[in-house]
Structures are given as C-alpha cells and as structure tokens.
Amino acid sequence: MRLPWAYGLRISGPGLLPFDHPDIVGHIQQLFVAGELRPVRHNAPAQMLQSWARVGLLVDPQQDRSKRLRTLVQQLVATIPPPDAMHQAWTAFARGYAELKAGVCQPDWIPPKDIKIAATSLEMEVDAHFTEWLTTRYSGLWNLPGKTPVMVHHIVKPIHYYLEKNTAHKAALLVIDGLALDQWCTIRDVLLPRMEGIRCSESGVFAWIPTITSVSRQAIFAGKAPNYFPESIQRTDKEPSLWLQFWTERGHLPNSVVYQKGLGDGDLQEVEIALSHPKVRIAGLVIDKVDKIMHGMELGGAGMHGQVLQWMQGGYLGSLLALLCSKGFRVFLTSDHGNVEAVGVGKPLEGAAAKSRGERVRVFEKEVLREGVHCYFPQAIPWPVVGLPPDYFPLLAAAREAFVGKGERIVSHGGLAIEEVIVPYIEIDRGME
C-alpha cells in the first residue's frame, strides 16, 4: 500500500540519512560556512543547542555571523590556490572569498576587530597570489574550448547549446554591469526568498582584462575576444549589431533576437513589449544600475553593499526575472567586471598620449608611450596584449591603488583584483526542466 504522503527520490539512494553522524554534520557545517545553505529561525532554539540541527539555526544572529566569518577566513587562508593551480581552483576560491566580503561589508553590522584584521590580511595575500597567477596563466584562458564558460565571452556558447538542444525554448542573457561576485551574494539573499519555485545554479567566470565595459561587456555580446572588434574597443554602441551577428551566423532570424540596455529603474513596459513578440527566442539585456551606483560611491565597499541592497528592495530585478521566467526564458546572468575599493596614488600627466583614462587603468596606442608613464608609477602593471588589438597597451594600477588624487578613496574597476576579474555566472529557470 502506498501511503498518501509517500514520495519518490530524484536521486537514487537511501530513504533515511543519519544526519547526526559526525561526518555528515561536518559536511553540513561546511555548507553553511560557504553560504550554500542559510540558517533559519526557530521558535525555541535553546532546546536545539545539543542537536545536530544547531548548525542550521539562528540562535544569536550576531554571534552566529561572527563565528561563521572566523571559520570562513581560516578556511580561505588555508586554501589560496598555488601558482600552478587550474582556473577552476580560483573560481571556486572566489565564491568563498565573495561570501566573506559580503559578510564583512553588510551595512547593518560592524564586524569585530579581529575579523576585520584577518580579512584585510587575507586580502593582501590574495592580491599577491592572484596577480602572480594571472601573469602566468591568464593568457591561456581566452581560447579554451568546451561547453562550460571560463571567460565572459564564452557565455554565449552554453546559451547556443541550450537553444540547439531545446528548440522550443527561449534564453535571455542578463548582464548586470559592474556587479562583483560579493554583491551578487547580497542580491541573491534578497532575491531567492522572494521567488518561489526558481532554480539557481551559481558559479564564476573571468572578465576580460582590463576590466572595463568597452572591453569586457562588448566581448560578452560579441561572443569573441576584443581583438575581433578593434574599431569599437573604446565604446559600446556596436553591442546590438555584434549580438545580432552572433545569432544570425548560427541560423537565427533577426526578428528572433532582442537587445536592450539602460535597464535597472522604472517600469518594465518596453522590455515586456519586446519580449512579447511571438518570434523572439533570444534576449540580451543590460542593467547598468550597479555601475551607476559604483561611480557615485563615496562610502567604500560597505556603501556599495548598502546601495545594492536598497536597489534590490525596490524589486526591479525580481520583477524582471519573474517576467522573463513567465515568458519561458531561461536566464543566464553575469557581469562584465566587478569593482574594488581603491586609494589614489596620483594622476598621470600623460596629456593626449592615453587612449583611455580610467581610474584603475590607462590605455596607450604605443608601448613607448605606456613606458613613459610607467616610469613615474613603477608599481603599476604593464599588461600584455592578450586577446586585445595590437595597438592597445594597458597600464594597470597596482593592488588596491587608483590613478586619482593621492589618498582619495574610490570604488572603481579596470585592474587585476579578484573582485574585478572573477564575476558571477548564474543560470536561472523555473526548475521544471
């Protein structure tokens, strides 16, 4: 006889699991520390203090948060990838590091002094190791084959494979300009509880260096390295045509492809009209709200999280994702670059020599011009022409520095920090496939 409450398992295995077994308790604890699971409230938490379920309960939110972050710092210190690590090691590490950054930067909480000191020490160590790794390994990432994206311009590949496999389905690429992986953690914690029934798969990909919009975001929509669009490397107005070209070259009709940018505020009427066309199967959408927040930010990393949280509470992103899901779109969410808090070391006096004057990067059309500025900023990093046009020579500000007035603190992008380079790659759907 089948009981009315009986259910089947999606994955074969035992029906009963010994959750109080020390090995399983340790594994569950790790999932909470890493942010894969979230603790919940209980009406009588004191009664559960000796239970294995204690790891998943909010007993004292302040103490619980401090304990989690202390454990997370220790784990991250012990797992910084070595110089010969594969790229997967750094994307996995970046997710844990983002959880730490998000935890420390929450606007409603001042972390204990020991956690701030430990996090700052870890930050310096990560900067050194990640920069060393990038200088030797990054050049091999951009042309890696495979269905799993490694860099942002690879993301169109899984979208293409998805549509080929599911010929009646739709897909949307949603790019949140300037969104760092740690800010995705803040967004996710607001978003997921409000959207019942969605399935969210999280990972990370590498942005293009220099980590600026005209290079990295344009590469996303082109599905190609920046050396394929040298004429528009300084601007973004070619994104719609590059996006359309990618899909028409693969057999899709022009009227099945949509591109819209400048999203993030207001209503969704124009987006809904565009998506409602019966022929549309592919949408490319750009939210630039986070990038606008960043460029006006004067309160550092905590201020960024506070403003992103405030924007999320307005409900725009949740409404957009609900609209996309309701119209049958599988959503591929990413960012073109992240952002980092940096301190000014002075402005280069390069005159008209620089093609681009970012706060974390200067770009020159000749190597000799770059060297002329580099000699005044010896800590800066002359970045090699990797996948870039042959007349594109970036000079990157070192570590957490910026080419602005000495001592000035800003939030910006363009450099090599892990927060700028490894960005979110999220797949979202209704969980019915």
Taking only the tens place, the pLDDT of each residue in 43-52 is: 656 655 556 6
Instruction: Provide the 10 A C-beta neighbour count for residue 371.
Output: 13
Asked if 192 and 212 count as a contact pair (C-beta separation under 8 A), the reply is no
pLDDT (average), residues 88-112 = 92
pTM of this prediction? Answer: 0.89
Element holding 354 (H helix, E strand)? strand 354-357
Sketch the domain layout of the chain as residue ranges.
Answer: 22-40+57-138, 146-339+419-429, 341-412
Following DSSP, what letter does each residue of 198-225 receive, concatenated? -EEEEEEEEPPSS--HHHHHHHHHHTS-
What are the tens digits of pLDDT across the range 134-147?
999 999 999 987 77
Q: For 16-22, what is the mean pLDDT?
A: 66
Of 11-20, 158-167, 365-374, which gets the smallest average pLDDT?
11-20
pLDDT at residue number 61: 65
Residue-level pLDDT at 298:
77
The mean pLDDT of the chain is: 89
Residue 4 reports pLDDT greater than 70: no
What's residue 193's pLDDT?
A: 86
Least confident of 16-25, 77-86, 127-136: 16-25
Q: Which residues contact 27 (CB under 8 A, 6 or more apart)?
A: none
Q: Which residues contact 221 (CB under 8 A, 6 or more apart)?
A: 156, 173, 175, 239, 240, 242, 243, 246, 259, 284
pLDDT higher at 240 or 399: 240
Q: Sorting pLDDT into bands at 50, 70 and 90, what band is 2? A: very low
Structure tokens at 16: 């009963």
pLDDT of residue 136: 95
Q: Which of 258, 241, 225, 256 is nearest to 154 (CA)?
A: 225
What CATH number does the domain located at 146-339+419-429 have? 3.40.720.10
Instruction: Pick the closest to residue 215 from 329, 31, 383, 431 (CA basis).
Output: 383
Q: pLDDT, tens digit, for every residue of 243-295?
A: 999 999 999 999 999 999 999 999 999 999 999 999 999 999 999 999 999 98
Task: Give the pLDDT band of residue 199 (cuts 50, 70, 90).
Answer: confident
According to DSSP, residue 80 is labeled: P
Mean pLDDT calculated for residue range 315-334 = 96
pLDDT per position as a tens digit, 117-175: 999 999 999 999 999 999 999 999 999 877 799 999 999 999 999 999 988 899 999 99
Cα–Cα nearest to 250, from 164, 169, 172:
164
How far, in Å, CA of 301 to CA of 312, rounded?
16
CA separation (Å) from 343 to 126, 402, 408, 410, 421?
18, 6, 5, 6, 18
- For range 2-22, the mean pLDDT: 60
Return the amino acid letter for 297. M
